[in-house]
Chain A
Amino acid sequence: MSQQQPSMWEDLPLFPDSASTLAGQVDGIYLFGVAVAVVFSLLIAVLILYFAVRYRRRHADDVGQPEKTITWLEIAWSVIPLGILLVMFGWGAKVYFAAMRPPADAVEYFAVGKQWMWKFQHPQGRREINDLHVPVGQPIVITMTSEDVIHSFFVPAFRVKADVVPGRYTRVWFEATKPGAYHLFCAEYCGAEHSRMGGTVYVMEPQDYQAWLSEASPVEDRVLSGEELFAKHVCNTCHYPDSAARAPLLAGLAGSEVELADGRTVIADDDYLRQSILNPGASIVAGYQPLMPTYQGQISEEELIQLLLYIKGLEPAEEGHGGSAP
């Protein structure tokens, strides 16, 4: 876990490195929160100390002055804090929405968390474990899932964090602004080696990143491509271009609206596609029979991601042409 640190880390660091477009926004609301906390804490501390000295008991039998009811004061110190709290809420919500909504031009990466490692896949197909190389100045969204328990993707220098939950996809996005090496942590307790489930995010100049991508991959466990998996699991028996009578068409499906047999309409997002592979009975498309078997337990999370990429890449076939793609 010890890698070269950006130079601002001293023996007693007080503020983390900032290396994403979000970092400044989070720091802004944080510093406002600190200011509010310091002002009110000091106010209370000074008043307490002043009163405790000024009104200290001088004779054993002394009693305090009778209490006066000052209604305006009580209203004031209910309403003023409420106002400040609502400002914090509104400002915080604005930053939160910025953090939770990737920009449209974000490039999609994938991550799978498992006890106790991170597996990443770049859009170009290159895969790496625990470390993540990204280009500076490019919005990146990582679609993540877990093979076992809940993990959490956390890069302090980017001020981003998102839980990685088994059974669903979550997303985190960032745009790195400063080349360097930054900690990647797992922030959700996940078992024995939780504190070692991490690595380094390397932010690189775009040309360095391209060079890195073109290097030979280190030896990795081989994952079949989406097309190979599609064939291996004989998906093409039913899902082929003229299959309309038997199984829904997959080309152009991703992102479209789907009418289900039970009357619901859903968007065919990643979670829908995942669910339809693992547990097809849960959402039957209107007009089809529940014929498809479940693939729960037969496909790993990484293979699912390959399948998803493949399905999302299918172009709608020209009318009347079979084409080679299923």
Chain B
Amino acid sequence: MSERQGLRSLNYLNATVGLKSWLLTKDHKRIGILYLIGITLFFFLGGAMAVLIRLELATPAGDLVQPDTYNRLFTMHGVMMIFFFLIPSIPAVLGNFLIPLMIGAKDLAFPKLNLASWYIYMIGGGFALWAMLNGGVDTGWTFYTPFSTTFSNTYVIATALGIFILGFSSILTGLNFVVTIHRMRAPGLTWFRLPLFVWAHYATSLIQILGTPVLAITILLVAAERLFHIGIFDPALGGDPVLFQHLFWFYSHPAVYIMVLPAMGVISELVTAFSRKRVFGYKLIAFSSIAIAVLGFLVWGHHMFLSSQSVYAGVVFSVLSMLVAVPSAVKVFNWTATLYQGSISWDTPMLYALGFIGLFTIGGLTGVMLATLGIDIHVHDTYFVVAHFHYIMVGGAIMAYLGGMHFWWPKITGRLYPAFWSKLSALMVFVGFNLTFFPQFVLGYLGMPRRYHAYPEEFQVLNVMSSAGATVLGVGYLIPMVYFIWSMRYGKRASSNPWGAVGLEWQTPSPPPTFNFVDSPTVDHEAYDYTVRPGDQKVA
């Protein structure tokens, strides 16, 4: 195409060279790539632990690793995946890279703070890695007291400190996004012309700013009790163990929305781009992001229906949890309606997006079942819960993350990846995922508790199915790793707009120049304006 000339010109990847130019960069796009390297490392570490967990559970007896080891494996799997992969994944990589491009800005509002956020993330990750290499931690990612404060002999403080430090990265990224979205939109880009990806990140940022400090406080209280025996949570010291659960879930339930709201933002972009159609009910989707962010702060007690909290508290938290399901359901219906009379392509990102809608629907509906008090009595703390949150976090957040990576990879690297392999791996991820986690719903209702190193024999067949599925899923995740790396050198060069999508990020070369746009864009139309055929609007 006519991109050759553009490719020879400078872009953000080749504008400066050398390690120092990357480690001291203030370019949001390069920082996004730095995050990509960090989170990919943690994803594969967490994934390796999942492999060992599924291997152990292939047989009923605890025969592969010792119980202590197993407990550390599922703890570190959760810590790595949630705090060091999922929470930063879409916001810190794709959000960082795309928000300025999508709003027509040269960079985020605070580029140095953005780089500092990455260093803070890496330092936090370093603490967690250090703890892991020295033997790890065995409290579960939930750090329930008094086990974590008084009884565990593992590296609780080092791991918690890593999460504490990481939290500041999350807060600062959220702050940066909020200010950027308020102050740096291109002329004409009103709030209701913003891509829904930006709305979703705005809502996410609010949670990061308001929720993360509570996690930090909770970690400090745990450290105070563990180090100085100040009675806060341990009843032997005069504390209240259930207080910890309130504090922990006050952050950690909204944290689920930190993971899934950006995923919803990605899906809105993918569904519109590959249907070439304006999203159905733009405002409803935008507001539902905000509604989820707000309501998400009011439902933490649904993790505690059986914790000895008051039954009336249980009732209130149950009904509030039902309310938060409504905006999620609305989004699913709106995405589905967007497909109606669209021009739907089956490119790889769209396969991930459609997979997301299906899996997120199952995850959401089983979440509703968990919020139903009478069902939770039985399935609480069983594999039903494990299956549910993996449908949301893996079937939802990771599917969206991979869909987003496949969508914007040509923009990020200027290269295309092989269509066949990417479709094959998308299929493997979908099939492998369902085979891994669907049997766990059945296991949960049968009564298999979570975090069990050994289990009764009658649960074996379902566990073997799950472990087999995990193998397929694991290969499905490795294939993109290979062809993405391969494509950076050997992939076909991407045009500025390989998908024929609208959105400002597609109106600048791939990869974009350091300051994103050659001419500062102005906006005079709504998002997802596909009334013009892509062939007619192409800019030379």
Give chain A's interface residues, CB within 8 Å of chain B. 1-2, 5, 9-16, 22, 25-26, 29-30, 33-34, 36-37, 40-41, 44-45, 47-48, 51-52, 55-58, 60-67, 69, 73-74, 77-78, 81-82, 85-86, 88-89, 91-97, 99-100, 115, 148-150, 152, 154, 156-157, 159-163, 165-168, 170, 183, 185-196, 279, 296-297
Query: What are the residues of chain A within 8 A of B455 when measuring CB–CB?
Result: 195
Query: What are the residues of chain A within 8 A of B442 when measuring CB–CB?
Result: 14
A163-B341 Cα distance, complex, nearest whole Å: 52
Query: What are the residues of chain B within 8 A of A22 when measuring CB–CB?
Result: 377
Contact B461 A12 (CB under 8 A): yes
**Given that A26-B374, A149-B147 are contacting pairs, would A186 and B449 also be in contact in the complex, using a CB cutoff of 8 Å?**
yes
The answer to whether B130 has its CB under 8 Å from any CB of chain A is: no
Closest A residue to B379 by beta carbon equals A30
Q: Mark B353-390, 1 if CB is under 8 A from A, else 0.
A: 01001100110011011011111111111100000000
Contact A57 B146 (CB under 8 A): no
Q: Mark B296-311, 1 if CB is under 8 A from A, else 0.
A: 0000000001111001
**Given that A63-B530, A161-B377, A195-B62 are contacting pairs, would A91 and B372 also be in contact in the complex, using a CB cutoff of 8 Å?**
yes
How near does chain B come to A145, taking the closest CB pair, in angstroms?
10
Q: Which of B202-210, B313-321, B503-511 interfaces with chain A?
A: B313-321
Contact A187 B358 (CB under 8 A): no
A74-B382 Cα distance, complex, nearest whole Å: 36
How near does chain B come to A273, taking the closest CB pair, in angstroms?
16
Query: What are the residues of chain B within 8 A of A56 when measuring CB–CB?
Result: 344-346
**Given that A63-B533, A195-B452 are contacting pairs, would A52 and B354 also be in contact in the complex, using a CB cutoff of 8 Å?**
yes
User: Which 4 A-B pairs give the minimum distances between C-beta atoms?
Assistant: A156-B447, A167-B235, A95-B374, A64-B277
Contact B146 A67 (CB under 8 A): no
Contact A44 B358 (CB under 8 A): yes
**Given that A77-B333, A88-B372 are contacting pairs, would A1 and B532 also be in contact in the complex, using a CB cutoff of 8 Å?**
no
Contact B346 A148 (CB under 8 A): no
Contact B377 A159 (CB under 8 A): yes
**Given that A82-B326, A166-B241, A189-B140 are contacting pairs, would A66 and B531 also be in contact in the complex, using a CB cutoff of 8 Å?**
yes
Query: What are the residues of chain B within 8 A of A37 when measuring CB–CB?
Result: 362, 365-366, 368-369
A106-B458 Cα distance, complex, nearest whole Å: 32
Query: What are the residues of chain A within 8 A of B140 when measuring CB–CB?
Result: 189
A29-B376 Cα distance, complex, nearest whole Å: 10
Query: What are the residues of chain B within 8 A of A193 when measuring CB–CB?
Result: 67
Contact A65 B449 (CB under 8 A): no
Q: Mark B34-76, 1 if CB is under 8 A from A, else 0.
A: 0000000000000000000000000000100001100100000
Contact A166 B146 (CB under 8 A): yes
Contact A89 B242 (CB under 8 A): no
Query: What are the residues of chain B within 8 A of A29 when measuring CB–CB?
Result: 372, 374-375
Closest B residue to A44 by beta carbon equals B361
Query: What are the residues of chain B within 8 A of A88 when measuring CB–CB?
Result: 322, 368-369, 372
Contact B372 A154 (CB under 8 A): no
User: Chain A's interface: helix, strand, loop or mixed, by majority?
Assistant: mixed
Contact A67 B308 (CB under 8 A): no
Query: What are the residues of chain B within 8 A of A191 when measuring CB–CB?
Result: 71, 138, 147, 151-152
User: Chain B's interface: helix, strand, loop or mixed, by majority?
Assistant: helix
Contact B235 A168 (CB under 8 A): yes
Query: What are the residues of chain B within 8 A of A77 when measuring CB–CB?
Result: 329-330, 333
Contact A156 B146 (CB under 8 A): no
Query: What are the residues of chain B within 8 A of A2 when measuring CB–CB?
Result: 456-457
A15-B456 Cα distance, complex, nearest whole Å: 15
A191-B146 Cα distance, complex, nearest whole Å: 11
Query: What are the residues of chain B within 8 A of A188 when measuring CB–CB?
Result: 144, 381
How near does chain B come to A14, taking the closest CB pair, in angstroms?
6
In the complex, given contacts A66-B531, A185-B449, what are 5 additional A-B residue pairs having Cβ atoms less than 8 angstroms apart? A47-B336, A161-B306, A166-B146, A168-B235, A188-B144
From B284, B341, B449, B531, name the one whose CB has the most chain A CB atoms within 10 angstroms: B449
A61-B129 Cα distance, complex, nearest whole Å: 49
A45-B307 Cα distance, complex, nearest whole Å: 36
Give chain B's interface residues, CB within 8 Å of chain A. 62, 67-68, 71, 138, 140, 144, 146-147, 150-152, 234-236, 238, 240-242, 275-281, 284, 305-308, 311, 314-315, 318-319, 322-323, 325-326, 329-330, 332-334, 336-346, 354, 357-358, 361-362, 365-366, 368-369, 371-382, 442, 445-447, 449-458, 461-462, 500, 530-535
Contact B447 A99 (CB under 8 A): no
**Given that A16-B446, A167-B240 are contacting pairs, would A26 and B377 also be in contact in the complex, using a CB cutoff of 8 Å?**
yes
Task: Show 28 A/B contacts (Cβ-Cβ < 8 Å), sorted by A.
Answer: A10-B458, A12-B462, A13-B446, A14-B442, A22-B377, A30-B374, A34-B369, A36-B365, A37-B362, A37-B369, A52-B346, A56-B344, A57-B343, A67-B338, A85-B322, A85-B326, A86-B319, A88-B368, A92-B318, A92-B374, A93-B374, A149-B144, A149-B150, A152-B381, A163-B308, A187-B381, A188-B144, A188-B381
Query: What are the residues of chain A within 8 A of B341 when measuring CB–CB?
Result: 55, 64-65
Contact B319 A81 (CB under 8 A): no
How near does chain B come to A194, taking the closest CB pair, in angstroms?
6
Query: What are the residues of chain B within 8 A of A58 when measuring CB–CB?
Result: 343
A88-B375 Cα distance, complex, nearest whole Å: 10
From B151, B365, B450, B462, name the one whose CB has the most chain A CB atoms within 10 angstroms: B365
Closest B residue to A147 by beta carbon equals B236
**Given that A170-B308, A191-B147, A192-B67 are contacting pairs, would A183 and B336 also be in contact in the complex, using a CB cutoff of 8 Å?**
no
Contact B445 A16 (CB under 8 A): yes
**Given that A44-B332, A88-B368 are contacting pairs, would A55 and B319 also be in contact in the complex, using a CB cutoff of 8 Å?**
no
A193-B138 Cα distance, complex, nearest whole Å: 12
**Given that A88-B368, A163-B307, A167-B240 are contacting pairs, would A51 and B342 also be in contact in the complex, using a CB cutoff of 8 Å?**
yes
How near does chain B come to A150, taking the closest CB pair, in angstroms?
6
How near does chain B come to A93, taking the closest CB pair, in angstroms?
5
**Given that A13-B446, A97-B311 are contacting pairs, would A189 and B451 also be in contact in the complex, using a CB cutoff of 8 Å?**
yes
How near does chain B come to A100, taking the closest CB pair, in angstroms?
5
A166-B279 Cα distance, complex, nearest whole Å: 52
Query: What are the residues of chain B within 8 A of A63 when measuring CB–CB?
Result: 276-277, 343, 530-534
A193-B376 Cα distance, complex, nearest whole Å: 25
A60-B374 Cα distance, complex, nearest whole Å: 52
Query: What are the residues of chain A within 8 A of B242 when measuring CB–CB?
Result: 165
Query: What are the residues of chain B within 8 A of A167 when measuring CB–CB?
Result: 235-236, 240-241
Contact A187 B380 (CB under 8 A): yes
Contact A52 B344 (CB under 8 A): yes
Query: What are the residues of chain B within 8 A of A14 when measuring CB–CB?
Result: 442, 446
A41-B438 Cα distance, complex, nearest whole Å: 13
Closest A residue to B367 by beta carbon equals A37
Query: What are the residues of chain A within 8 A of B532 when measuring CB–CB?
Result: 63
Closest A residue to B305 by beta carbon equals A96
Query: What are the residues of chain A within 8 A of B452 when measuring CB–CB?
Result: 194-195
Q: Which of B333, B354, B445 contacts A30 (CB 8 A)?
A: B445
A149-B449 Cα distance, complex, nearest whole Å: 17
Contact B308 A165 (CB under 8 A): yes
A255-B424 Cα distance, complex, nearest whole Å: 67
How near does chain A come to B395, taking the closest CB pair, in angstroms?
12
Q: Which of B334, B371, B458 contacts A5 (CB 8 A)?
A: B458
How near does chain A come to B170, taking the closest CB pair, in angstroms?
26
Contact A183 B369 (CB under 8 A): no
How near does chain A come to B58, taking the closest CB pair, in angstroms?
15
Contact B276 A149 (CB under 8 A): no
Contact B339 A48 (CB under 8 A): yes
Contact A194 B453 (CB under 8 A): yes
Closest B residue to A69 by beta carbon equals B281
